[in-house]
A and B are shown apart, each in its own frame.
Chain A
Amino acid sequence: MKLRPDLAIIADAVPSSARVLDVGCGDGELMAALRAKGVDARGLEIDPDNVTAAIARGQSVVQGDANRDLADYPDDAFDYAILSQTLQTTERPDRVVDELLRIAPRAFVSFPNFAHWRVRLALLWNGRMPVTRLLPVAWYETPNIHHVTVRDFRDLVRAKGIRVERVWHLSGDKPASDAAASWRAEHAIFLISRT
């Protein structure tokens, strides 16, 4: 089974033998790839069917809500925390980022870039909330309650004094150049760390 491209990048970047918490781990797709390379991966997932599927695959997953239940993990419980495609669905993304870097010194955070040119164009021309491949649900029922752009996220981590160790930009399934990423990246993956 082929990993989603953002997950493949994260799976590749995590060193083997690391301890990892995958927040919003779904049915454990990324965790399976991480475990295959010797990573001690655990998950937090809100949907009970996904949790059941992941546990049935032999993974360690706790049913819980990233908005509340990250508080149950002790400081530095992991080497890496992973939050893929979930930041924009949280109630307070800033506090979730704080929690990620409390329970681990480093975190991968990936999100769809709301400033991608297709989104900008759709908004400009139609005057309606864009519905795109990565943001496929209409505004009234979307779980994405905090749309965020690459620049927004950079501003947030700068304000918090968080270090950006590495950034990957994706356009479709392919890497996008860092130049003009604000326009051209459909999707961004940040590796951030405490300073």
Chain B
Amino acid sequence: MASLLHQIQHQGVTINAPLPLDSGQVLPSVTIAWQSYGALNADRSNAVLICHALTGDQYVASDHPGTGKPGWWARMVGPGKPIDTDRFHVICANVLGSCMGTSGPATPDAATGAPLGMAFPVITITDMVRAQAMLLDHLGISRLHAVVGGSMGGMQTLAWAATFPERLASALVIASAARHSAQNIAFHEVGRQAIMADPNWQDGQYYGSARAPTKGLAVARMAAHITYLSEAGLTEKFGRRLQARDIKSFGFDADFQVESYLRHQGLAFTDRFDANAYLYITRAMDYFDLADPHDGRLAGAFAGARDVRFTLVSFDTDWLYPTSESRRVVQALQSVGAAASFVELSAPFGHDSFLLDVPALDRLVAGSLRAGLA
């Protein structure tokens, strides 16, 4: 399916300037695909950058060109919505390493024209942010009213504040963390091994062949999907109910509804995502630890971000990026004197709460974006 995925045309720009990466390697040029909503005002002061999550994309409030489904945050972004496109110029770019038009493992090698595959360099969250900064330079936007992101988008938002503090007035970080925990890394490693154990993966050079590692990618998605939900949510949605049958089959069909659901989620995912991109982006998340360059002191990462207004939100049922990780960020921000807001919201949906109907989140997002307006 990867070949179909890569046939989609995206709005993008190729910037012919080198992008130095944390790994020490350099991308000689970078292509960035993005979407924008709402008008940029005359003094270019109303731009809001939305950073998407691991399997998200730039189609934050418009239909996905592959699946036709509504944008992943259409409930949050639009005219009159909490991120109000009547007021803000909203930009969302596909992250570096992804598969929706921005440079990644499916990008052709400049010399041979063949997809890079595993020859694409390993990237980091901060590399993604540097690429976004290059896009903003290209668009002539020197300073953002806000950077907003949930999950991996929140990591990019924190990396924005750490890397380019003078370029943003406020940061809104939802269901996220300033580092990946051992448990986070462990779940990602399961996903990567599922992909790489699929014989169709072919060391990452499957793009030209008729075989793509869809089974491995589907299993990776199934394992990850469990981490996005709460146990109570799974129990309420599926319990031990059987799928389209009255008795157990005493076989290995999807007897249980939860099995059928996960299989569907895994399979549907392979229509819209590239296995190598999944490897690269999960790796970037695993390497993420903002305290690492500061001898383990997270406050060191925010030393230059005193003038950025931060809002952090966690959810009580999110065990992937629990409240304690948001509190750790808040403590670091308080220790440097940055204006920080934090609240743990109650929502039943686990980590996925940031994407779903949580009215208190809508109020928070709208309020924190309004706060910095003159």
Q: Chain A residues in contact with chain B, CB under 8 A?
A: 40, 42, 48-49, 51-53, 55-64, 72-74, 77
Contacts and interface: CB of A to CB of B under 8 A. Distances in A.
Contacts of A60: 309, 339-341
Contact of B343 (A40, A48, A58): A48
Contacts of A53: 363
B84 interface: no
Given A56-B363, A72-B335, A77-B337, A48 B330 contact: no
Residue with the greatest number of chain B CB neighbours at <10 A, chosen from A51, A56, A57, A61: A56
Nearest to A71: B331
A188 B337 CA distance: 31
A40 B338 CA distance: 12
Given A72-B330, A74-B337, A55 B344 contact: no
Contacts of A64: 342
Interface of B: 309, 311, 330-331, 334-335, 337, 339-346, 360, 363-364, 366-368, 370-371
Nearest to B360: A52
Given A62-B334, A77-B334, A55 B366 contact: no
Contact of A56 (B334, B344, B367): B367
Main secondary structure of the interface of A (DSSP, over half): mixed
Given A72-B331, A73-B334, A77-B337, A59 B371 contact: yes
A191 B340 CA distance: 26
A74 B336 CA distance: 8
Contact of B371 (A58, A62, A74): A58
Given A48-B344, A62-B341, A55 B368 contact: yes
A55 B311 contact: yes
22 contacts: A42-B339, A48-B343, A48-B344, A48-B345, A49-B360, A51-B341, A52-B343, A52-B360, A55-B343, A55-B368, A56-B363, A56-B368, A59-B341, A59-B371, A60-B340, A61-B343, A62-B342, A64-B342, A72-B331, A73-B335, A74-B334, A74-B337
Contacts of A52: 343, 345, 360, 363-364
A58 B345 contact: no
Nearest to B335: A74
B363 to A, nearest CB: 4
A35 to B, nearest CB: 10
B298 to A, nearest CB: 12
Contact of B341 (A48, A55, A73, A77): A55
Given A42-B339, A62-B340, A63-B342, A55 B364 contact: yes
Nearest to A52: B360
A61 B341 CA distance: 5
Contacts of A40: 339
Contacts of B345: 48, 52
A53 B366 CA distance: 11
Nearest to B312: A62
A57 B334 CA distance: 20
Given A62-B342, A77-B334, 15 more contacts: A51-B341, A55-B311, A55-B368, A56-B363, A58-B368, A58-B371, A59-B341, A60-B341, A62-B334, A63-B342, A63-B343, A72-B330, A72-B334, A73-B335, A77-B337
Which residue among B334, B339, B340, B344 has the maximum number of chain A CB atoms within 10 Å of its CB?
B334
Nearest to B309: A60
A23 to B, nearest CB: 13
B150 to A, nearest CB: 16
Contacts of A74: 334-335, 337
Nearest to A60: B339
Contacts of B330: 62, 72
Contacts of B370: 58
A166 B330 CA distance: 33
A96 B30 CA distance: 54
A64 B343 CA distance: 9
A81 to B, nearest CB: 13
Nearest to B361: A52
Nearest to B339: A60
A49 B311 CA distance: 15
Contacts of A58: 367-368, 370-371
Nearest to B299: A74
Given A62-B330, A62-B340, A62-B341, A56 B366 contact: yes
A9 to B, nearest CB: 26
